[in-house]
Amino acid sequence: MDRTLIDRYEADGELPAKAIAGLTRDELLAHPISGTWSVQEVVMHLMDSDLVGTDRIKRVIAEPGSTLLAYDENKWVKHLGYDHADAKTACEVFRLNRKMTAAILRRLPDETFRQSGNHTERGVESLEMLVRDYIEHVQHHLKFVREKRFKLGKPMA
């Protein structure tokens, strides 16, 4: 197991807050690219997804072979009132969740990262795969935030 992944996982906890820095509430809620989520919706999705991811990570650690439930991210955006949430609070929850989960991961022996669970859509996923996937997930969505900010005339620093 490449332990630098844990450092990256934790460090990326800062990224959502950096992604919304300097944006007004109206800019957070804007849809500068038609048919896509707002920056606010992306940030809320990242927080929710990471909380689901932490549940999956903990299940694989404590209960290898557990079922890892899929969810419909678009239904969460539609039904959970993302537009009414506080994006800064969501960023702080994301950061703290990453910090606490990284502390758990650092205490584990390497062999634990080979333990797995069964994702209801993707099949068998090891702990190491989950950590890698959640690192990639943030990067995937931040490229869309960069595009939205550019369209709003507020490129990321």
Instruction: State the pLDDT at residue 151.
Output: 97
Non-local CB neighbours of 101 within 8 Å, separated by 6+ positions: 9, 10, 54, 57
The tens digit of pLDDT for each residue in 30-89 reads 999 999 999 999 999 999 999 999 999 999 999 999 999 999 999 999 999 999 999 999
- Strand pairing category for 123-126 and 116-119: antiparallel
Across all residues in the chain, what is the average pLDDT?
A: 98
Domain ranges of the chain: 4-151
- The fold for domain 4-151 equals Four Helix Bundle (Hemerythrin (Met), subunit A) (1.20.120)
Pair of tokens at residue 123: 């099949």
Give 117's strand partners: 125
Query: What's the one-letter identity of residue 122?
Result: R
Tens of pLDDT, residues 112-124: 999 999 999 999 9
Distance CA 60, CA 63 (A): 5
pLDDT at position 137 is 98
Phi and psi, residue 84, nearest 5°:
-100, -5
Radius of gyration of the chain from Cα atoms? 16
